[in-house]
Amino acid sequence: MLRISIFCIAVFWSWSAIGQEKTPFASYDFSSDKVYLEKRSALAKESNSIPQYNAMIRLAIAYKDFETAIRYYSKRIEIEPDNAELHYRLAGVNGIRIDEISKFKALPYVFAMKTNFLKAHQLDPTHTPTLTALVRIYTKLPDFLGGDIDKAKNFAKLLSDLSPTEGLLAQGFISESENNTTQAKAQYKSAFELLPFLDGCENSSVSGYFENRSQNLSYEIASIGLAFSLSSTASICALEYYVAQFDAHDNLPKEWAYYKLALLYEKINEKDQAIQYRSLALEINPTFNPE
């Protein structure tokens, strides 16, 4: 099983983003990649075992084949139905699929996402990424799909008790979703104040904080800082950690991280760094134009 800090697929689809962010999920046309299809076919023929399922999940995620990942996470859960981490990951992959398909086809994935996050929470009430996901689900889902702002606030309270910083981020997310930007900014600012090591970018403290949390959390913190004009140095530190940890299993495009680093360096008038990061974004994707 891949480490949480590298692979954790959090609920970060575009309609539930922080700071009105519209960062898309990373995508890839795996259907035309013969190398991938041959590897997938070879793995599918191997014996049905946990190592084979894990290998297929790793491969599918690396090539952004989320439907295959869903299928093999489901197989894993048949073997280990009380594994909270598996339910969390399956929920997250369903969340990504929601963002990839039409609204008319998304309902089964919404149901699977919500059901598995709730099961993950039932099995491990202290798992903070699951609580973050539940805050976003209940905040953003419409009423007829089970959205409930009061439940979102209850999950945010549980999260605050376990991790004050993540709790404040969750509360800010709710406030932002309710169009209370003043309160949201105050809550986000309080969260930043609990992370003073980011301003000094103390490597051991930064790694120690993020290593057992969702890899997307560092990206999220930087996005909040950029959107709400909070500490640029803290935001840069968080985002450079994200870039340093990035690998093929991450679900947010690396060029977006470089682009945001460029914007953050522009804010502190370090133009050479800003130009460098814009260039890196274009090297990855020559057609990249988020503005």
CATH code of 203's domain? 1.25.40.10
Instruction: Render pLDDT for 185-208 as a digit per residue (tens, 0 to 9).
Output: 999 999 999 999 999 998 899 999
Q: By the 8 A CB rule, do 95 and 11 touch?
A: yes
First to last CA, the chain: 37
Report if residue 56 sits inside a domain: yes
What's the total number of domains in the chain?
1
Q: By the 8 A CB rule, do 40 and 60 touch?
A: yes
Enter the tokens of residue 34.
Answer: 């013969």
The pLDDT of residue 139 is: 96
Does pLDDT of 4 surpass 70? no
Total count of residues recorded for the chain: 291
66 vs 12, which has greater pLDDT? 66
Does pLDDT of 7 surpass 60? no
Using alpha carbons only, give the angle 60, 258, 168 rounded to the nearest 5 degrees.
Answer: 85
Enter the tokens of residue 136.
Answer: 């976003």
Does pLDDT of 172 surpass 90? yes
Instruction: Render pLDDT for 59-116 as a digit per residue (tens, 0 to 9).
Output: 999 999 999 999 999 999 999 999 999 999 999 999 999 888 877 788 999 999 999 9
How many alpha carbons fall within 13 Å on the CB side of residue 135?
30
Q: What is the mean pLDDT of the chain?
A: 89
Enter the tokens of residue 10.
Answer: 């959090």
The pLDDT of residue 27 is: 77
Chain mean position to CA 80: 24
The mean pLDDT of 253-271, rounded to a whole number, is 94
The pLDDT of residue 42 is: 93
Report if residue 155 sits inside a domain: yes
Percentage of residues in the chain having pLDDT higher than 90: 73
Report if residue 262 sits inside a domain: yes
Does pLDDT of 289 surpass 90? no
Place of tokens 């369903």: 94
Amino acid (one-letter) located at 49: S
The pLDDT of residue 252 is: 83
Please state which of the ranges 3-7, 230-234, 273-277 shows the lowest mean pLDDT: 3-7
Most confident of 129-138, 139-148, 207-216: 129-138
Report if residue 290 sits inside a domain: no
The mean pLDDT of 203-220, rounded to a whole number, is 89
CB-neighbour burial class of residue 15 (10 A; exposed 0-12, middle 13-18, buried 19+) = exposed
Report if residue 204 sits inside a domain: yes
Most confident of 104-113, 172-181, 209-218: 172-181
Report if residue 291 sits inside a domain: no
Q: By the 8 A CB rule, do 134 and 123 touch?
A: no
Please tell me the distance from the alpha carbon of residue 244 to that of residue 256, in angstroms, as a whole number: 14
Report if residue 50 sits inside a domain: yes
CA quadruple 243, 245, 249, 252: dihedral sign: negative
Q: What is the residue range of 102's domain? A: 4-284
Does pLDDT of 280 surpass 60? yes
- Model confidence at 23, pLDDT cuts 50, 70, 90, reads low
Phi, psi of 249 (to 5 degrees): -85, -5
Q: Tell me the CA distances in angstroms from 6 to 51, 183, 225, 240, 252, one per residue in order.
A: 19, 32, 22, 14, 12
The pLDDT of residue 211 is: 85
